[in-house]
Amino acid sequence: MKRLFVTTMCVVLLCAQSHAGFLKAMSGMVLMAAGTFAAVDGFKEVVDKEWTEKIISGEYDWDVSSPRIDKSDWSWTSTKYTNWWADAEGKVYNSGDVTLNNVRVKVTFKDVAKSEITSSYVYIDGPIEPSSYGTWSNYNNNCGLIAPEWASINVTYGYEPLYDHRVYYRYEHHKTYKKKNLPQAYTGIAVGAGGLYLIADSILDATKVKQALKKKDLEIQFAQKPNYFGLRLTKRL
């Protein structure tokens, strides 16, 4: 009867200790999981500031001038003296948007086969402003004995370009980051550490119970039957 009482008390004590240890271990695991999640979430980096920066990528001066000249208003004649003389005259029109300078007219006279006989240059005095005319004339006595049958002109000129200063930009997107919630992270570490302590303490309690039972020649064993699984307390004789 005494042995049965002792055995019963040990089983009750073991159950009480095991139940308390189980609750302590489960509480520790919950705290450690919650603390780990809070710490990881708190240390997560989130966007602190976000902005777009406008940066000059290049500056260029583009020539936007449109120089043009109309040279269609001209005529020529030829006269036979001892040699052939050829005269040409006309005017040019500045149809562009810039002032033309150093305007030169090249006059070329050709024979019936359109081979060049002679050519000469003439410069128009002064610059020609936009929407203005410049006149010219050319007298040439170098045709010799060959009668000029064709004539052509070629006009060249200089000008001061009109520039458009253009600035090109590019855009850079920037972000700075910060920890999401440092107080939460450190609190999570503390909670996780508390949970780890409970787990360790429950393991220590289980070890103490096992040692106490061993001193009394008691041993915890798993009992398994077809319809039953549990713990069995045995005592060495």
Per-residue pLDDT band at 124 (split at 50, 70, 90): very high
Nearby residues of 101 by Cβ (< 8 Å), 6 or more positions away: 127, 128, 157, 158, 159, 160
Element (H, E) at 41: helix 2-43
**pLDDT, mean of residues 174-186:** 83
**pLDDT, mean of residues 145-156:** 95
As a whole-number percent, the residues of the chain with pLDDT over 70 amount to 76
Block residue for tokens 């406008």: 54
Q: Pairing mode, if any, of strands 84-94 and 133-140?
A: antiparallel
* Strand partners of residue 76: 88
Q: Which pLDDT does position 234 carry in this prediction?
A: 62
Rounded CA separation 118/144 (Å): 9
Among 14-18, 22-26, 113-117, 122-126, the range scoring the smallest mean pLDDT is: 14-18
pTM: 0.49
Block residue for tokens 């508390």: 194
**pLDDT, mean of residues 108-127:** 94
User: What does the block give as tokens for 141?
Assistant: 């006595």
Rounded CA separation 88/182 (Å): 93
Per-residue pLDDT band at 12 (split at 50, 70, 90): very low
- Residues 57-106 have pLDDT tens digits of 888 888 889 999 999 899 999 999 889 999 999 999 999 999 999 999 99
